[in-house]
Chain A
Amino acid sequence: MQISQNWIDIAYLIAAVLFVLGIKGLTKPKTAVRGNMLAGAGMAVACVVTLLHRDIVSYEIIIAGILVGGIIGVLLAKKVQMTAMPQLVALLNGFGGGASFSVAAAEFFRGGHPDTVGIIATGAAVLIGAVTFTGSFVAFAKLQELIDGKPMGFPGMKAANAVLLLGSIVAIAYLVSNPGSPTVFWGLAIAAAVLGILLVMPIGGADMPVVIALLNSYSGVAASAAGFVMGNSALIITGSLVGASGLILTQIMCKAMNRSLTNVLFGVMAEGGETIDQDEVYAGKIKSTSADEVAMLLETAQRVVIVPGFGLAMAQAQHAVRELADTLEANGVEVEYAIHPVAGRMPGHMNVLLAEAEVSYDKLKDMDTINPTFEQTDVAIVLGANDVTNPMAREDKGSPIYGMPILNVDKAKTVVVVKRSLSAGFAGLPNPLFAKDNTLMLFGDGKGAVVDITAALKEG
């Protein structure tokens, strides 16, 4: 059965509306599941109607591809651990870029006679698609610790990137006048693939959330470019929605770290005035505490705020934390969680990890909401978070992290920091919070410490 292009376009419009309603559903936890379903329905509409397109003459390859992709997709979605969500999203970004690249390449080799716009769009889809594909795999390898997560580079890297980008643009320009050159096409593809690798290599661990968000945006833009290639409205609209989404998340992440996007991309850390000596900050001022002592503090507390960082997820301590919170709440204590925008390894990661441990989402407070409440907080428990609590960001104009918005945990009556040692966080700076008069250090493994506190509370 075949239907006219008009009907196909109307179906695409319906799909686009369903995607918009789907994303709208994601603005509230209550409607989010339904939103996701709506978006899925939109996808089904778009795919089914496409199968009736007049250019489709055989279904063998399509069925084989959907089977292979479907099985891999189901396995990935079912098996992935919530702590590994950033890796999965990085992979999916890469697949999205790869798919857009392949679609544009297939269209190129079908050998129609595309106009200038068509060729430029093909070039853009190939360039952005290939950059997203290889860049995402580097991001995946870094997050999965297959390669070193530290910034990597070589002298002349920026020059090499500039040459690759310029070369790609020249190749696209060449294709406009000579649309049929496969050599130039593959040259462009290879240059873009190498560029993707080189762009992500120099980006270090703490900046990973920004990169994932940015690659998310790229994968959308690549889909949009593929839409221009095929003259397909569904791809154009949806691709730009996703592109906008990734871009906004990138902005939020950059703002939360007080870094500009350029700084993140080129691996520049703000220069600190003088190097601060760790001993000078900590000497004689660190008070160590025990689980029993913390339990005693908590017994008299009325309001407790838990400040989780990625260290908590690494220690798989989210369930232990919830149990501690349950015990406290049973004693009539008000417990809330303070979530910094860059806690975890991707936007919103910490919220998912806590939701997995069945912490109710209305107790997860973002920075702007929780910060004014620290003054009325009896005990703030910092678990695996470091740089996002560093008061130097607020007070020390010479500090490299000055201006970064932080959680004002030091305003709480007592701060308990659970940490293995006094070692520095990603920013490589000492944290004067640890030396404050109202701070107690509980040295040890995050999960063990929380379990001990809970046990001591239950006994007491």
Chain B
Amino acid sequence: MDFVAELTLFVLAIFLGVELITKVPPTLHTPLMSGSNAISGITLVGALIAAGSDAGMLVKVLGFIAVVLATINVIGGFMVTNRMLAMFKRK
């Protein structure tokens, strides 16, 4: 993908983010933060490629660290968000 296309995505996604997030009520701000943490675990995608590539030792170690950290974010983030949201749903 060329840089301008990437930049276009980046800028438009920020605007979309602002529009979406301003509609989230204060009641749900904590789950929003843990949920967005989980979503930012998307770095896992890059981590998988680094960890699975046939590059040298250093790259594999960095890839392993990245996979571990990003997986904590994804799994921990989604689970804890779910736990909180379930409390809001009860009534």
Which residues of A does B touch, CB under 8 Å? Answer: 12, 15, 19-20, 22-24, 26-30, 32-33, 35-37, 39-40, 42-43, 46-47, 50-51, 53, 55-59, 61-62, 64-66, 68-70, 72-74, 76-78, 80, 82, 85, 88-89, 92-93, 95-96, 98-100, 102-103, 105-107, 109-111, 117, 212-213, 216, 219-220, 222-224, 226-249, 252, 339, 341, 346-349, 351-352, 355-356, 358, 360-361, 364, 366
Contacts and interface: CB of A to CB of B under 8 A. Distances in A.
24 contacts: A23-B24, A26-B24, A26-B31, A26-B35, A29-B25, A36-B31, A36-B35, A47-B44, A57-B54, A65-B64, A99-B73, A102-B65, A103-B47, A103-B66, A117-B3, A237-B10, A238-B39, A244-B16, A246-B33, A339-B27, A348-B26, A351-B26, A352-B87, A355-B90
Contacts, number: 375
A72 to B, nearest CB: 5
Interface string B43-74: 11111111111111011101111111111111
Interface string B2-35: 0100100111011111101111111111111111
B49 A96 contact: no
Nearest to B47: A103
A240 B13 contact: yes
Given A26-B24, A236-B6, A88 B34 contact: yes
A105 B53 contact: no
Nearest to A360: B91
Contacts of A24: 20, 23
Contacts of A239: 40, 42
Contacts of A237: 9-10, 13
Contacts of B36: 23, 216, 220, 241-242, 245-246
Contact of B40 (A27, A72, A242): A242
B62 A105 contact: yes
A393 B33 CA distance: 29
A77 B80 contact: yes
A348 B31 contact: yes
* SS of B interface (majority): helix
B82 to A, nearest CB: 6
* SS of A interface (majority): helix
Contacts of B10: 224, 228, 236-237, 240
Contact of A23 (B9, B21, B49, B67): B21
Nearest to A352: B30
Given A33-B89, A69-B69, A111-B55, 9 more contacts: A23-B20, A28-B25, A80-B80, A88-B76, A95-B70, A96-B70, A237-B9, A348-B31, A351-B28
A400 to B, nearest CB: 25
B52 to A, nearest CB: 3
B63 to A, nearest CB: 5
Contacts of B64: 61, 64-65
B32 A245 contact: yes
Contacts of B83: 77-78
Contacts of B23: 24, 27
A209 B32 CA distance: 14
A352 B31 contact: yes
Nearest to A67: B71
Given A240-B13, A355-B88, A29 B75 contact: no
Counting chain B CB atoms within 10 Å of each CB, which of A73, A99, A220, A246 scores highest? A99
A39 B16 contact: no
Counting chain B CB atoms within 10 Å of each CB, which of A24, A64, A238 scores highest? A238
Contacts of A59: 52
A55 B48 CA distance: 10
B34 to A, nearest CB: 6
A3 B68 CA distance: 25
Counting chain B CB atoms within 10 Å of each CB, which of A70, A96, A248 scores highest? A96
Question: Top 6 nearest A-B pairs by Cβ distance?
Answer: A69-B71, A244-B17, A65-B67, A348-B29, A73-B75, A56-B52
A243 B39 contact: no
A355 B40 contact: no
B6 to A, nearest CB: 6
A143 B72 CA distance: 20
A62 B42 contact: no
Given A95-B69, A351-B27, A216 B33 contact: yes
A368 B54 CA distance: 57
A446 B23 CA distance: 34
